[in-house]
């Protein structure tokens, strides 16, 4: 079967044009072509058609290959150009290549033409694949993969911009929307039901807002709405419309109906001097107050009414964290990471922190106390506790020759710790004290934390890698993912965010994103790890894609460290 080829032939000689076309036909091409021989006709052809390649003669009356190159670069800069001429000297040929020609071929040696075209077509396909991957990554950087809404990074960008013009008489409003029944549905019906609920809620919340407004999923079951140039009265109406839509909505899953609602915190951005951190804190406080008053309502931020409540609630967590640090009331769990496709080393494990507290009969998961720890600067202390106890456990496991001493141990660090100038010395001393092999340690840093603290992150990564430790970028795909950051951050592992893994068998976009991240990671020289691997079918697909490692409930549920 002949290969199609959209050919734009710049040639004043019909006989020479026939020679080129005959050479292509003999070698399996079916060229669909137009022959032009003037600047104006070439310009018109570039405007009117889509071409795979341009083949141009060098010398034509009043027109040459240099003129053709300039015109192609202006109108279709990625379109490859091959010069085919019977009278081109070496100096002219070199100058043409410098000007953008992809090859030059003598008319007496047309056997080189087909290999040159095939090479350029392969290169063009590679460029197209690269552009598609880049577009995918750029979309991931600013959009939530589950709902298609703006993500937290994009929302924060719009919010910062709005705060900058409040001093010029503009009034905006921030709505912080937290669903009231999401956890019940998610826990009783499973993650798939929770994900579908979030998608449907995202569609509902779009209805009342205007074209200039920004709706984003901030994480979990939390949404943010930025109402641009909006008065208090109109903002109140929009918030009430959202609340009514959610009250009237019935979520159906496997024959069961659920009522849902939301708590909405409302903050007016109507005066100069408001900071980004202030308004997010105020919105969070207002939303918390709405929940505290019985949920399914709107609370406007009023500093006098909420300040004591906020301080009381947050300081309670601060006190509990400090008490846990002082009394050693944290506990380490681990989750296995297994190799796929013959990855070496074949296995590893991630260390996870839990809190023990007299006020709770159950272990407290990090999602409950980490936000307060981050807000009040307690994460470096928690990270030091984790490193100290993790290294001690690894030393004990090595002495007992337990399974934890095999493979690589993954240890999570916060963004705040990256800025701790003494932390590298602390790590080095801890490694030496426990006589651990540095190659058995991998520090995990979330992609967003690394980018937010880029200079500190690069310094930290360089420091631990000099010691011989590894570094993993965690939750990749949820923030500003791009080639530039992968080049800037010399990591060893890339952990693909589990939100893309969970539905990849039923969501072609999620699967394409996983494939793109894996491909990009491998090009960058990183090994890839898939999180949230919950089924054998997902694991099989990951193997087919070429993912290096996997972790998740389908591999191993986190468990307390064995007593040695």
Q: Tell me the pLDDT tens digit for each residue of 12-49.
A: 888 888 888 888 888 888 888 888 888 888 888 888 88
Sheet with 103-106, edge to edge strand ranges: 29-36, 3-10, 53-56, 81-85, 103-106
- Alpha-carbon span 283 to 285, nearest angstrom: 5
pTM: 0.51
Tokens coding 417: 């710790």
Q: How far is CA 204 from CA 124, 244, 245, 450, 490, in A?
A: 42, 10, 7, 34, 42
* 410-456 residue pLDDT tens: 999 998 898 888 999 999 999 999 999 999 999 999 877 787 778 88
Place of tokens 């893309």: 500
559 touches 333 (CB < 8 A)? yes
Mean pLDDT of 529-553: 95
Query: Is 98 or 544 the better-scoring residue by pLDDT?
Result: 544
| pLDDT the model gives residue 374 | 85
- 67 — pLDDT class (breaks 50, 70, 90): confident
Place of tokens 């993954």: 410
Sign of CA dihedral 226, 227, 232, 234: negative
* 118-139 residue pLDDT tens: 888 888 777 777 677 676 666 6
Helix (H) / strand (E) element for 289: namely helix 276-292
E runs forming strands in 270-346: 298-300, 330-339
* 219-277 residue pLDDT tens: 888 999 999 989 889 999 999 999 999 989 999 998 888 888 899 999 998 877 778 88
With 0-12 / 13-18 / 19 or more C-beta atoms within 10 angstroms meaning exposed / middle / buried, residue 189 is middle
- Alpha-carbon span 313 to 440, nearest angstrom: 40
| pLDDT the model gives residue 530 | 95
| pLDDT the model gives residue 214 | 93
* 450-498 residue pLDDT tens: 877 788 888 999 999 999 999 999 888 765 445 567 777 889 999 998 8
182 touches 219 (CB < 8 A)? no
Q: How far is Cα of residue 354 from the mean position of the Cα atoms in its chain?
A: 27
448 touches 482 (CB < 8 A)? no
| pLDDT the model gives residue 483 | 54
223 touches 155 (CB < 8 A)? no
Place of tokens 């019935």: 250
- Alpha-carbon span 454 to 459, nearest angstrom: 9
- Alpha-carbon span 172 to 228, nearest angstrom: 5
Cα-based angle 43, 44, 46 (whole degrees, multiple of 5): 65
Average pLDDT, the chain: 86
Mean pLDDT of 363-382: 88
Q: What is the CA radius of gyration of the chain?
A: 30
Query: Is 64 or 91 the better-scoring residue by pLDDT?
Result: 64
Question: What's the CA dihedral at 123, 129, 132, 138 to 10 degrees?
Answer: -90
Q: Which residues contact 383 (CB under 8 A, 6 or more apart)?
A: 412, 413, 414, 417, 423
**DSSP reduced 3-state for 34:** strand
Q: Which residues contact 3 (CB under 8 A, 6 or more apart)?
A: 28, 29, 30
Place of tokens 């992809």: 102
- 308 — pLDDT class (breaks 50, 70, 90): very low
Residue 173 has pLDDT above 80, yes or no: yes
- Alpha-carbon span 89 to 93, nearest angstrom: 6
**DSSP reduced 3-state for 56:** strand
| pLDDT the model gives residue 391 | 95
225 φ, ψ to 5°? -130, 125
* Structural domains present in the chain: 3-141 (3.40.50.2300), 152-301 (3.30.70.270), 315-560 (3.20.20.450)
E runs forming strands in 236-341: 250-253, 256-259, 262-269, 298-300, 330-339
**DSSP reduced 3-state for 503:** coil
DSSP 344: S
CA nearest 112: which of 31, 29, 20?
20
List helix spans (H) across 495-556.
Answer: 498-501, 508-523, 536-545
Q: What proportion of the chain, given as a percentage, has pLDDT over 70?
A: 93
């Amino acid at each position: 079967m002949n290969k199609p080829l959209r050919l734009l032939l710049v040639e004043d000689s019909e006989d020479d044009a026939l020679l080129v076309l005959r050479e292509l036909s003999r070698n399996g091409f079916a060229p669909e072509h137009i022959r032009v021989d003037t600047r104006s006709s070439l310009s018109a052809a570039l405007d009117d058609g889509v071409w795979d390649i341009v083949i141009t003669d060098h010398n034509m009356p009043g027109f040459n290959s240099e003129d053709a190159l300039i015109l192609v670069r202006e109108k279709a800069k990625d379109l490859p150009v091959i010069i085919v001429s019977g009278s081109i000297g070496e100096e002219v040929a070199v100058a043409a290549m410098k000007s953008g020609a992809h090859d030059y071929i003598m008319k007496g040696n047309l056997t080189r033409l087909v290999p040159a075209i095939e090479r350029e077509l392969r290169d063009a396909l590679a460029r197209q694949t690269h552009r598609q991957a880049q577009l995918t990554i750029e979309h991931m950087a600013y959009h939530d993969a589950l709902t298609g809404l703006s993500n937290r990074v994009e929302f924060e960008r719009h919010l910062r911009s709005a705060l900058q013009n409040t001093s010029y008489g503009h009034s905006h409003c921030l709505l912080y929307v937290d669903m009231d029944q999401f956890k019940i549905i998610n826990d009783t019906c499973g993650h798939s039901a929770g994900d579908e609920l979030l998608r449907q809620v995202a569609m509902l919340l779009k209805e009342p807002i205007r074209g200039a407004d920004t709706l984003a999923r901030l994480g979990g079951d939390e949404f943010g709405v930025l109402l641009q140039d909006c008065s208090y009265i109109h903002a109140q109406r929009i918030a009430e419309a959202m609340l009514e839509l959610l009250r009237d909505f019935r979520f159906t899953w496997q024959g069961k109906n659920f009522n849902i609602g939301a708590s909405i915190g409302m903050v007016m951005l109507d005066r100069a001097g408001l900071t980004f951190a202030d308004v997010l804190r105020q919105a969070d406080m207002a939303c918390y107050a709405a929940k505290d008053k019985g949920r399914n309502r709107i609370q406007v931020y009023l500093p006098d009414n909420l300040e004591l409540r906020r301080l009381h609630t947050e300081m309670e967590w601060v006190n509990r964290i400090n008490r846990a640090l002082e009394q050693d009331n944290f506990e380490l769990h681990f989750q296995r990471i297994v190799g796929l496709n013959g990855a070496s080393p074949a296995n590893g494990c991630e260390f996870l922190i839990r809190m023990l507290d007299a006020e709770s009969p159950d272990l407290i998961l990090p999602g409950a106390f980490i936000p307060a720890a981050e807000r009040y600067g307690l994460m470096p202390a928690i990270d030091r506790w984790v490193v100290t106890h993790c290294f001690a456990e690894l030393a004990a496991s090595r002495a007992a020759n337990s399974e934890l001493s095999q493979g690589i141990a993954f240890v999570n660090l916060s963004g705040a710790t990256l800025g701790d100038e003494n932390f590298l010395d602390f790590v080095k001393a801890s490694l030496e004290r426990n006589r651990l092999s540095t190659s058995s340690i991998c520090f995990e840093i979330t992609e967003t934390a690394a980018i937010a603290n880029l200079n500190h992150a690069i310094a930290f990564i360089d420091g631990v890698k000099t010691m011989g430790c590894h570094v993993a970028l965690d939750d990749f795909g949820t923030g500003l993912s791009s080639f530039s950051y992968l080049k800037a951050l010399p990591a060893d592992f890339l952990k693909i965010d589990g939100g893309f893994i969970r539905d990849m068998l039923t969501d072609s976009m999620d699967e394409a994103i996983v494939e793109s991240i894996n491909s990009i990671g491998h090009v960058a020289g990183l090994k890839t790890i898939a999180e949230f691997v919950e089924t054998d079918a997902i694991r099989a697909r990951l193997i087919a894609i070429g993912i290096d490692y996997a972790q998740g409930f389908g591999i191993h549920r986190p468990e307390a460290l064995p007593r040695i």
